[in-house]
Amino acid sequence: MQHWKRTIELANRCFNLGDWVEARELYLQALALAQVLFERWADVDEAVAACVISHHNLADLHLSLGQPEESAEYLCAIHQHLLQTMQNQRLPPALREAALRHSSKTYAELLSFIQRTRRIPAHSSVC
């Protein structure tokens, strides 16, 4: 978790400085870490939050760059991932419940995206 947090903090710093390329690379690294460790983190809420934050940071970055389609892809991807996690009976109940709790945040972000951009994501049937 500490490595993921450091990576996100560095990415946020780059984002705030306008270093979009480095921010994107670091956000992608953080996302990869969150995905690999998703089912392995001891704290299921931290695991789900790391995935959600990683996706949402990438979505915010792409929206800042005027790339709403890419932003929508990240928003839809994490929402879909949480929906699949909730339905996956092979996963621990605590992880599925954490996905349910965090899905309200991903849904709210999708609605906010639609309101801000006046665009419905192309993958809206998936979301």
**Per-residue model confidence as pLDDT tens digits over 69-94:** 999 999 999 999 999 999 999 999 99
Task: Tell me the CATH number at 47.
Answer: 1.25.40.10
Q: For residue 91, is it within any domain?
A: yes
Question: Is 63 a domain residue?
Answer: yes
In a domain, 122, yes or no: no
Closest CA to 62 of 29, 32, 113, 24: 24
Burial, 31: exposed, middle or buried (Cβ in 10 Å; 0-12, 13-18, 19+)? Answer: buried
Note the pLDDT tens digit of each residue in 41-66. Answer: 889 999 999 999 999 999 999 999 99
How much is the pLDDT for 126? 44
Please check whether residue 11 lies inside any domain of the structure.
yes
| Domain membership flag for residue 105 | yes
Alpha-carbon dihedral sign for residues 95, 97, 99, 102? negative
Residue 51 falls within a domain, yes or no?
yes
Contact 11, 57 (CB under 8 A): yes
Is residue 88 situated within a structural domain?
A: yes
Which residue is associated with the tokens 């969150």? 34
- 125, part of any domain: no
**Host domain of residue 86:** 2-117
Q: How many domains does the chain have?
A: 1
pTM: 0.91
